[in-house]
Chains A and B, each alone.
Chain A
Amino acid sequence: MTYAPFKDWENDGRKGAPRGGLTSNLKNQIIMAVIKLDKVSKIYDAGKIPVQALDQVNLEIERGEFTAIVGPSGSGKTTLLNIIGGLDRPSSGDIEVGGVDVDQLSDNKLIDFRKDHIGFVFQSYNLIPVLTALENVEFVMLLQKRSRKERLERARELLQAVGLEDKMDKRPSELSGGQQQRVAVARALAPKPSFILADEPTANLDSTSAGNLLDIMAKLNAQEGITFVFSTHDPRVIERARRVVTLVDGAIASDVRKSEPVQ
């Protein structure tokens, strides 16, 4: 089965967009390319003692991967995800996404880059509380200057794809934690990103909700080739991941690829 939302948009019908964004040529490169970290380090020195959150991390993630970054608390998982997602900048090293050195982008260009190429699912409070599920999914496409018709059509299809067709008009406070995370996945997929970064997406969910969410993400990965990168402690996520990167004290301790496909 192919989900309608993941058919390529026939044209990039944004009104006047992208302003200050990337060229379509570059966008094509990104779609084909990988995430590449070369000797990336991150040192926080806000306190008296500098803290090395990442230490010379080398990592390549290819298109279509379903990767879990695991490790104990404070091992640097979230920092790594933040740096890949352009939410934080490394202290040293290079990070390339589809050949673009994201660290060199200005703040505004980086925001555009995230908007167009990266989907985010955070641990909790992912949604804008005053908007309905449908409006939350629509929101990023509004930032992309998609037409209203296009936005509504895709948002409805995405919510249907995550099994929330009957909750479109509900606000986040009227949804369960699992439903909110599914809306967040739909929202992350809305701009047709190159990959999705999910920071402990199942951390606050009961096992049924977590299972449902993982089923949806695994299906999107398997059937649509969407690239997922998780940071997680959750054994259920680790079990479903095809690749598990373990971080210890900010450095990669192991990087294991599983042969069997995600179920």
Chain B
Amino acid sequence: MLFRLAWRNIWRNKRRTFITLASILFAVLFASLMESLQKGAWNNMINNIVTFHMGYIQVHQKGYWDEQTLDYAYPLEPAITKTLGLKGVEDALPRLESFALASTGSNTMGVMVTGIEPEGENAMTRIKSRLTAGKFLQENSKGALIAAGIAENLKLGIGDTLLLIGQGYHGVNAAGKYPVEGIVKYPSPDLNRLLVFLPLKEAQWFYGAEGMITSLVIRPTSPKAIVKAQNSLKSVFPSDAYEVMDWKALLPDLLEAKKFDSAGNVIVYFILYTIIAFGLFGTILMMLRERQYEFGLLVAIGMKRRRLGAVVFLEVVLLGLVGALAGIVASMPLVGYFKVNPIQFSGGYSEMMEKFGFEPIFPAEFSFRIFFMQAVIIFVLTALLALFPFRRIRRLKVVEAMRS
């Protein structure tokens, strides 16, 4: 009956309850949508980089990732053999990667020349689906596959010659001329300005690193098997000679930037929930004032103060929870809509975002965790505010209350 009492009390002043609920609902809606869009944009970017190029796990010679030079290249064999049959490992893809200058006459830009096994690469990163012009590489191709941003900057088309100059393995000169066989477009602006692909053997020749690779990109049996795959890889690639890194370790700066961006949002949430807290507090104060007599009556007829306090506590918390649930119910279709139909920016804003490395698309992240967290915040907030009536009821003077 105490729950019934609390529930009915909430609806005693319907208009006030609806206004309070609406304020909570819109706060949850706004906060959920904001967080969903922000996480969606970041996750989209990370997903683009991880699934379209970087992979979930990479194996390098120890020290490579800090310096990323060819001096840390290691023999393809027996490394590739070691990965066979490991728990959680579906496939291993060899790459030889280093930076070089790409040039066409008067235009020059820095690129990352990546030697790949074309079919294996396609199986893992679906690179062929990004082809916008020309054809995909074969194992024995003598040409290059370039990202669309490079083609645009260097004004290259299919069949044009790309000149690559760089430093090879152990300081040898690396230079080569490659006809552009295909152009691939990445959603990530960073990758789009960076990647040049050669068949692995061609890249090994270019860098003077016969039979060598810089990394093994590992495809786990499923994204959930990353830890299992990483552990089994560590058992065959000892840590004194190799580094087995998951995507989080490979992208620390990006994750840090994401965290920093999220921290900025905390300020917005703080302002939002402070406003809500004042609204709720006002409701509580009005309710306490209106019900002085009733509280006096209840204590007079034998209701313990802590029990009465618990009923009022329940009322406030229920109000918060109903508001939060209504907010979540209202948020779900809206967030779902923006997940299916991402916000797409164009014009100057789009260019600005691309400069910062963001794809100008904001797909919302539909995560129950986001909604749940909003409910938790509201619950904690209302629970803290609901302590105030406890204090007032503890100090209530029955006779004075019943004179009110």
> Which of the listed residues B5, B9, B300, B402 has the most CB atoms from chain A within 10 Å of its own CB?
B300
- Is A187 part of the binding interface, using a Cβ–Cβ cutoff of 8 Å? yes
Number of interface residues of A (CB under 8 A): 28
Q: Which of B259-316 contact A (CB under 8 A)?
A: 293-294, 297-305, 307
- Is B398 part of the binding interface, using a Cβ–Cβ cutoff of 8 Å? yes
Specify the chain B residue showing the minimal Cβ separation from A79. Answer: B399
Number of interface residues of B (CB under 8 A): 22
- Is B15 part of the binding interface, using a Cβ–Cβ cutoff of 8 Å? no
Query: Given the complex, which residues of B lie within 8 Å of A195, measured CB to CB?
Result: none
One of A87, A115, A131, A144 near B5 (C-beta < 8 A): A131
Specify the chain A residue showing the minimal Cβ separation from B399. Answer: A88
Q: Which stretch from A3-11, A97-105, A106-114 is at the chain B interface?
A: A106-114
Q: Say yes or no: B304 contacts A130, CB within 8 Å.
A: no
- Is A55 part of the binding interface, using a Cβ–Cβ cutoff of 8 Å? no
One of B8, B301, B399, B402 near A131 (C-beta < 8 A): B8
Distance A107 CA – B4 CA, assembled complex (angstroms): 27
Given A114-B301, A140-B301, A122 and B1 touching (CB < 8 A)?
Answer: no
Given A138-B1, A139-B1, A125 and B293 touching (CB < 8 A)?
Answer: yes
Distance A130 CA – B4 CA, assembled complex (angstroms): 9
- Is A82 part of the binding interface, using a Cβ–Cβ cutoff of 8 Å? yes
Query: Given the complex, which residues of B lie within 8 Å of A82, measured CB to CB?
Result: 399
Given A122-B402, A135-B1, A138-B1, A130 and B303 touching (CB < 8 A)?
Answer: no
- Is B224 part of the binding interface, using a Cβ–Cβ cutoff of 8 Å? no
Query: Given the complex, which residues of B lie within 8 Å of A115, measured CB to CB?
Result: 301-303
Binary A-proximity of B30-42 (CB < 8 A = 1, otherwise 0): 0000000000000
Q: Say yes or no: B302 contacts A128, CB within 8 Å.
A: no
Query: Given the complex, which residues of A lie within 8 Å of B398, measured CB to CB?
Result: 87-88
Query: Given the complex, which residues of A lie within 8 Å of B369, measured CB to CB?
Result: none
Binary B-proximity of A8-20 (CB < 8 A = 1, otherwise 0): 0000000000000
One of A87, A128, A130, A142 near B300 (C-beta < 8 A): A87
One of A112, A126, A135 near B297 (C-beta < 8 A): A126
- Is B14 part of the binding interface, using a Cβ–Cβ cutoff of 8 Å? no
Smallest CB–CB gap between A197 and chain B, Å?
10
One of B298, B303, B399 near A87 (C-beta < 8 A): B399
Q: Say yes or no: B1 contacts A142, CB within 8 Å.
A: yes
Distance A240 CA – B305 CA, assembled complex (angstroms): 37
Q: Which of B80-127 contact A (CB under 8 A)?
A: none
Given A128-B294, A130-B9, A131-B5, A120 and B399 touching (CB < 8 A)?
Answer: no
Specify the chain A residue showing the minimal Cβ separation from B304. Answer: A111
Query: How many residue pairs at the A-B interface have CB separations less than 8 Å?
Result: 61
Q: Say yes or no: A130 contacts B399, CB within 8 Å.
A: no
Q: Say yes or no: A143 contacts B300, CB within 8 Å.
A: no
Binary A-proximity of B237-269 (CB < 8 A = 1, otherwise 0): 000000000000000000000000000000000
Query: Given the complex, which residues of A lie within 8 Å of B305, measured CB to CB?
Result: 107, 111
Q: Which of A198-224 contact B (CB under 8 A)?
A: none
One of A107, A129, A139 near B12 (C-beta < 8 A): A129
Query: Given the complex, which residues of B lie within 8 Å of A114, measured CB to CB?
Result: 300-302
Q: Say yes or no: B302 contacts A112, CB within 8 Å.
A: yes
Q: Say yes or no: A111 contacts B402, CB within 8 Å.
A: no
- Is A116 part of the binding interface, using a Cβ–Cβ cutoff of 8 Å? yes
- Is A85 part of the binding interface, using a Cβ–Cβ cutoff of 8 Å? yes
Given A87-B399, A88-B399, A125-B293, A130 and B5 touching (CB < 8 A)?
Answer: yes
Binary B-proximity of A168-182 (CB < 8 A = 1, otherwise 0): 000000000000000
Smallest CB–CB gap between B359 and chain A, Å?
55
Specify the chain B residue showing the minimal Cβ separation from A135. Answer: B1
Distance A144 CA – B5 CA, assembled complex (angstroms): 17
Query: Given the complex, which residues of B lie within 8 Å of A143, measured CB to CB?
Result: 301-304, 307
Q: Say yes or no: A111 contacts B303, CB within 8 Å.
A: yes
- Is A191 part of the binding interface, using a Cβ–Cβ cutoff of 8 Å? yes
Query: Given the complex, which residues of B lie within 8 Å of A85, measured CB to CB?
Result: 300
Query: Given the complex, which residues of A lie within 8 Å of B399, measured CB to CB?
Result: 82, 87-88
Query: Given the complex, which residues of A lie within 8 Å of B303, measured CB to CB?
Result: 111, 115, 143
Distance A82 CA – B305 CA, assembled complex (angstroms): 18
Q: Say yes or no: B299 contacts A111, CB within 8 Å.
A: yes
Distance A16 CA – B87 CA, assembled complex (angstroms): 59
> Which of the listed residues A129, A138, A143 has the most CB atoms from chain B within 10 Å of its own CB?
A143
Contacts A129-B12, A135-B4 aside, 20 further interface pairs with beta carbons under 8 A come to A87-B300, A87-B402, A88-B398, A88-B399, A108-B304, A111-B299, A111-B303, A111-B304, A112-B302, A112-B304, A115-B303, A128-B297, A130-B5, A130-B8, A130-B12, A135-B1, A139-B1, A140-B302, A142-B1, A191-B302
Sample 20 A-B pairs with CB under 8 A, ordered by A number.
Answer: A87-B402, A88-B399, A107-B305, A112-B304, A114-B300, A115-B301, A116-B302, A122-B297, A122-B402, A125-B297, A128-B297, A128-B298, A129-B294, A130-B8, A131-B5, A135-B1, A135-B4, A140-B301, A142-B2, A143-B307
Q: Which 9 A-B pairs have the closest CB atoms?
A: A115-B302, A130-B8, A88-B399, A87-B398, A114-B302, A143-B302, A142-B1, A87-B399, A82-B399
